[in-house]
Structure 1
Amino acid sequence: MPTVNPRFSVLSEDFAADPYRHFARLREQAPVHYEPAIDSYFLSRYQDVQRTLTDHETFTTETLQVRAEPVMRGPVLAQMTGAEHTAKRKIVVRGFTGQALRDQIRAIRANAADLIAPFLPRGRVDLVTDFGRPLAVRVTLDVLGLDREDWQQVAVWHRGVAEFITSITLTHERRRHCLDCAEQLEAYLTPVIEQRRRRPGEDLISKLCTADFDGVAMSDRDVTALIINVLAAATEPADKTLALLFKHLIDHPEQMAQIREDPALLTAAIAETLRYTPPVQLVPRQAERDTVIAGSTVPAGATVFCMIGAANRDPDAFAAPDTFDIRRPDLATARSFTAAAQHLAFGTGLHQCVGAAFARTEIETVAAMLLPLLDGIRYASGFRYEETGLYTRGPDSLRVDFTPARGTPALARH
């Protein structure tokens, strides 16, 4: 069993303020770090994290029955295995490919143009609160076929669901709030599901309502869980990654200049952002048997947290891992949004994030729109950058100033 270091905790305020400065010490001195307060193990080396995420017999997703199912209102894709997982994942993935994806790109552009337009004359916008968060929810509602006008209420419910899943500890009051959000979201979805069963359209909810598994239609509970699953998977990475991308490009103006000169580099910049500052920092698994990792025994039944941020900065996996470099040769950009990605921001293997390819399309489409509009982008005067979050992590705000190029309001509408 790993030795407990009483002077260090991943649950501390010091770690929360900047986990990245602790990762090297964890990988070198405590690659299997034990937190007695929550009886859980934290893995920080790339090789160990990759093994844990791909060895589905030794490390299962059983922990999600407690960490996710209560607010998802049923089993999520990551809990499924075998034929059920393959069939249901395929239904969801079809909602993000082909003609559906082409329609979504148009919706992404329309949403982005609508949200950014009021800020173009002002030369100032918060890319998180004014733009990124509302954009991610509105785009996901379009994919699902839900009313875009409901985005603010759905965003409140989504935040409650996300808090439940991503909190390491919850007070009784916060737990009750999160469950209330999930119950209200389920109540909102129930009549929608009933309507789509009677009159299906081309949206993803209709596809879920009309699909079957082994010749049996999915229950309302199954459909509800998958809808909330998609809402979380398509929303969480997108808003954080977009803000983090612009943060890194502002911090590295020479790399931003390269992208402005060669827009084809944008995909590599997104992939490097995902490696350098992954929006999902922890992925939980449960050990099914006593297992030795990096010389330490993790007992059967234990919760294991894969530290994605630490693994993505492991020098055994990436050269100069603490350097942001859109031209790095060891990232394999072409594979960075698939299950074969070198970085682990979307997980890997069987349970790689179902929204990975869509997240790429959304972030790439929006960033390509914004870069020409936000000329001379820089931090707003007096702005102090901060990141928050242990399980998922990103900026709470990204206030920027810019000089709109002449004629950009008209461009933003197209």
Structure 2
Amino acid sequence: MPLAIPPFSVLSDAFDAAPERFFAHLRERVPVHYEPTIDGYFLSRHQDVKRVLTDQEAFTTEMLQVRAEPVMRGRVLAQMTGAEHTAKRKIVVRAFTGSALQDQIRAIRANAAELIAPFLPQGRIDLVGDFGKPFAVHVALDVLGLDRADWQQVARWHSGVAEFVTGLALTPERRRHCLDCAERLEAHLAPVIRQRRRRPGRDLISKLCTAEFDGITMSDRDVTALIINVLVAAAEPADKTIALLFKHLIDHPEQMAQVRRDPELLAAAIAETLRLTPPVQLIPRQTAQDAVFAGTTVPAGATVFCMIGAANRDPDAFADPDSFDIHRADLGTARSFTAAAQHLAFGNGLHQCVGAAFARAEIETVAAMLLPLLDEVRYSPGFRYRETGLYTRGPASLSLDFTPVRGSGTRRD
């Protein structure tokens, strides 16, 4: 009797261990992959993913009412359209551009210097656990104007919120835990919002509380949802991308040397990291009517998951797509952090990531600081690399050795 071959599943342990091994198979053989246990359709071709992300009328964000709103404690930007979306997006964008962005870059440098300093004399660091995760939360709290003394508690609540949004098969117990985290985070934010309405400052929460566009202002519920939205969006990609950038450069020492010699190449290295290993791997949408992809009909009302990782490795969009190449001609570094980006790491269309410019500034600032300090950087002896996550994905840890730095941490004897 022939052995039964189990059906392929993106929810399997094999896919979780190395999803990139399956991307080509999905794009070529099953560009519309259906997962019956979660009643969802997974799209892997670049042209299909871009179509879904850019046609907001045919592919809506209605599923976020169930997937995000319960833990965001209100509607988020991705759920909005028309005048409301335009007005509230402008409010958030203004907080990440111009003089506000320059203030944030100073805060980014200060946070990075403070967190890296204890490890410089040791010559060893876990770039995820020791640096990336606390750094991402610290910066998000600074942007919002929240007290960093509570960062570990806020990080735990944020983790529960993120788990709810990104979890595809939560148990009832985990669902209750995530909702409890969201309720506690909302209660933590309520007095802050009241205080900023009375005495606004220069932080993002104050701007959300006081801003008005075309007569549109924000309720406390609106402000709460956007604070949590920004906290998740700002913290989730940063730690993963910083670690992935160093991994790729360590794995390609000739390109590491080129970036060290020519700092202008750093932006290209970040853009290529985002293309090859995007921290956000799935973006969900809901079909407003029947939609046909590669001859397969996806029914109206269905949830489709855009597989960003697979789309970004589509040979119809990028030459030699599985290779890390900071010099690739089809990436376009200048447009890689804009709506014209060829890669889809920040999404696309109306709901493209509002913080793309901030993400670029944050990652570039940190990488430019760390590269000179982490001289002769390499994997620690015995370290075994492993990535985790289906919805968002990044290194579980990244233990690195480097030449220890003596004195102030800014010079090497």
TM-score normalised by structure 2 residue count = 0.97
Contact 2:69 2:75 in 1 (8 A): yes
Shift of 1:217: 3.0
Paired residue for 1:44? 44
The answer to whether residue 208 in structure 2 is matched with residue 201 in structure 1 is no
Paired residue for 1:62? 62
Supply the distance in 1 between the matched residues of 2:408 and 2:379 (Cα, whole angstroms): 20
The answer to whether residue 224 in structure 2 is matched with residue 224 in structure 1 is yes
Contact 1:233 1:354 in 2 (8 A): no
Paired residue for 1:370? 370
Contact 2:141 2:148 in 1 (8 A): yes
Q: Specify the code of the residue in structure 2 equivalent to 1:29.
A: R
Contact 2:164 2:170 in 1 (8 A): yes
Counterparts of 1:175-324 in structure 2, within 5 Å, are 175-324=175-324
Supply the distance in 2 between the matched residues of 1:369 and 1:407 (Cα, whole angstroms): 16
Which runs of 5 or more residues in structure 2 are unaligned?
none
Paired residue for 2:401? 401
Q: Deviation digits for residues 211-268 of structure 1, max 9, x if unmatched?
A: 1354253110000001011111111111110010001111111100000000110000
Runs (4+) of structure 1 exceeding 2 A deviation are: 212-217, 404-408
Supply the distance in 2 between the matched residues of 1:408 and 1:290 (Cα, whole angstroms): 62
- Residue 154 of structure 2 aligns to a residue whose secondary structure is helix
Shift of 1:166: 0.5
Shift of 1:319: 0.1
Which runs of 5 or more residues in structure 1 are unaligned?
none
Supply the distance in 1 between the matched residues of 2:196 and 2:79 (Cα, whole angstroms): 26
Contact 1:244 1:394 in 2 (8 A): yes
Supply the distance in 2 between the matched residues of 1:235 and 1:130 (Cα, whole angstroms): 15
Paired residue for 2:165? 165
Shift of 1:151: 1.0
Counterparts of 1:146-165 in structure 2, within 5 Å, are 146-165=146-165
Q: Specify the code of the residue in structure 2 equivalent to 1:172.
A: P
Q: Which range moves more in the overlay, 301-310 or 348-357?
A: 348-357
Q: How much identity, in percent, do the aligned residues show?
A: 80
Shift of 1:405: 4.9
Supply the distance in 1 between the matched residues of 2:115 and 2:216 (Cα, whole angstroms): 41
Counterparts of 1:340-379 in structure 2, within 5 Å, are 340-379=340-379
Supply the distance in 1 between the matched residues of 2:304 and 2:408 (Cα, whole angstroms): 49
Contact 2:373 2:410 in 1 (8 A): no
Q: Deviation digits for residues 301-327 of structure 1, max 9, x if unmatched?
A: 000000000000000000000000011
Contact 2:200 2:206 in 1 (8 A): yes
Contact 2:87 2:216 in 1 (8 A): no
- Residue 49 of structure 2 aligns to a residue whose secondary structure is helix
The answer to whether residue 73 in structure 2 is matched with residue 73 in structure 1 is yes
Supply the distance in 2 between the matched residues of 1:21 and 1:234 (Cα, whole angstroms): 29
Shift of 1:410: 4.0
CA RMSD in angstroms comes to 1.2
Q: Specify the code of the residue in structure 2 equivalent to 1:310.
A: A
Contact 1:373 1:408 in 2 (8 A): no
Q: Specify the code of the residue in structure 2 equivalent to 1:165.
A: V
